[in-house]
Structure 1
Amino acid sequence: MPKTVQIRDIDDEVYAALARRASGDGLSVPELLRREATRLASRPTVGEWLRATARRPSQIASDDVLADLDEWRGEWPSARR
Structure 2
Amino acid sequence: MPKTVQIRDIDDAVYAALVRRAAEEGVSVPELLRREASRLAARPSISEWLRRTGRRPSQVTTEEILQTLDSWRGEWPDAGR
Shorter-chain TM range is: 0.7 to 0.9
Report the Cα offset of residue 59 of structure 1.
1.4
Looking at structure 1, the residues matched to 68 and 16 of structure 2 have their Cα atoms a distance apart, in angstroms, of 44
Query: Structure 1 residue 55: deviation in Å?
Result: 1.2
Question: CA RMSD for the aligned pairs?
Answer: 1.8
Deviation of 1:37 (Å): 0.3
Mind listing any 5+ residue stretches in structure 1 that lack a counterpart?
76-81
For 1:64, the equivalent position in structure 2 comes to 64
In the TM superposition, residue 63 of structure 1 has moved relative to its aligned partner by 2.9
- Paired position in structure 1 for 2:48: 48
Between the aligned partners of 2:3 and 2:20, the Cα distance in structure 1 is: 25
Judged with a 3 Å threshold, the aligned counterparts in structure 2 of structure 1 residues 12 and 67 are, in CA distance, closer, same or farther, namely: farther
Q: Give the match for residue 6 of structure 1.
A: 6
Name the residue aligned to 1:39.
39
Q: Provide TM-score, normalisation by structure 1.
A: 0.78
Q: Deviations over 1:28-51 (max 9, x none)?
A: 000000000000001000000000
Identity %: 66
Q: Which runs of 4+ in 1 moved over 3 A?
A: 66-69
Q: Report the secondary structure of 1:59's partner residue.
A: coil
Give the TM-score, by structure 2 length: 0.78
